[in-house]
Amino acid sequence: MSKRDIYQQITDRIVSKLEQGEIPWKKPFTSLKKSYPRNFVSKNMYNGANFFLTLLEGRNTPYWLTYNQAKQLGGNVKKGESGTPIVYFQFIEKTNDKGELYRYPMVKHSTVFNLEQVEGIVNPFEAEMESLLCKSEFNNIESCERLINMFDVKIPLVRHSLMENAYYSPMQDFISMPLKERFKEEQFYYSTLFHEIAHSTGHESRLARPGIIKPNKKGSSEYAREELVAELSASFICAEAGIVKETEENTTAYIQSWLNVLKNDSKIVYDAMRDSFKVLEHLQILDKAA
């Protein structure tokens, strides 16, 4: 593969990720420096384009390694997993006509796998994060807590962990959240939680939304519609809780990113607003507002 082909492959991958409307490293909570992507064997942090290429994958552990490194450590890449291409420079030594030794860099490419994609190797990330985590104070916002208590049996279990991502798992029907102390501001914790709560209402036992009960590829119109439903619903709940001003900027940017995906299909936007209304009805927010 030529240098141009390598760079084109890298560029295409970055563009593809950004076109999905999601920037994983722009989060409302604090990432610890040791959670930045790095090679599992050398522990060296990736730099340049490799830093963003691995970060864009949105993995829950910062450790990456090649197929051979995994094998040498007694592990194995899980069946069906796809690697992430990275670029590095290898210095070549040559002697010129005068007998002088000189070195020049040659562009190489490799494929790495996140430790999540590998079996047979213990992941030390959780223990490391626990020792590094700053035990900062988190002050509950009473108005938000009242709403969460009001939702009661209408939402699934919320699990807090040392991992980076907030998400809803339709398969296991639970919400995963980073520890409260990781968030830069208390209101960002609640707005993120409300977003995931809105997603959870799409479970087949609740409102059975296609964006939740059917697998949808990131960047697809159905995926974008579900994200729009969640954020529209979350913004209304934030308003009910009295934290809309604090979260308005993030909400506006997020909604706009998905509207750009859906700009050529006004019916999907209409359907998303209709589904958001159903979310608020299900959570009985509208009863309270009345």
Tell me how far apart the alpha carbons of residues 139 and 185 are, in angstroms, rounded to a whole number. Answer: 9
Average pLDDT along the chain: 79
Which pLDDT belongs to residue 26? Answer: 47
Please, which residues have CB within 8 angstroms of residue 131's CB and are 6 or more apart in sequence?
none
pLDDT at 19: 54
Is the model's pLDDT at 266 over the cut of 70? Answer: no
% of the chain beyond a pLDDT of 90: 31
Contact present, 235 and 247 (Cβ < 8 Å): yes
Residues in a beta bridge with 167:
176
pLDDT, position 2: 55
Q: What is the pLDDT of residue 69?
A: 95
pLDDT in tens, 126-180: 666 655 555 467 899 999 999 999 998 889 999 988 777 789 999 999 999 988 8
| 93: pLDDT strictly greater than 60 | yes
Nearest to 107 by CA among 43, 186, 176, 49: 49
CA atoms of 87 and 161, how far apart (whole Å): 32
How far, CA to CA in Å, does 59 sit from each of 65, 170, 184? 13, 18, 21
- Lowest mean per-residue pLDDT among 70-84, 176-190, 199-213, 253-267: 253-267
- If pLDDT is split at 50, 70 and 90, which confidence band does 264 have? low
Type of residue at 245: K
Work out the pLDDT band at 28, boundaries 50, 70, 90.
low
| Amino acid 289: pLDDT | 39
Helix (H, G, I), strand (E, B) or coil at 74: coil
* Segment 174-193 mean pLDDT: 89
For residue range 193-240, list pLDDT tens digits in order: 999 999 999 999 999 999 999 877 776 778 888 988 888 888 888 878
Pick the residue with more confidence: 47 or 66? 66
Packing angle between helix 221-241 and helix 266-282, nearest 10 degrees?
40
pLDDT given for residue 272 in this prediction? 80
pLDDT of residue 173: 95
In the chain, where are the structural domains located? 3-131, 137-289
Q: What is the pLDDT of residue 242?
A: 83
Mean pLDDT for 55-63 is 79
Report yes or no: 266 and 221 within 8 Å, Cβ to Cβ: no
Query: Which of 276 and 74 is assigned the larger pLDDT?
Result: 74
Look at the pTM and tell me if it is higher than 0.75: no
What mean pLDDT comes out for the span 34-47? Answer: 84
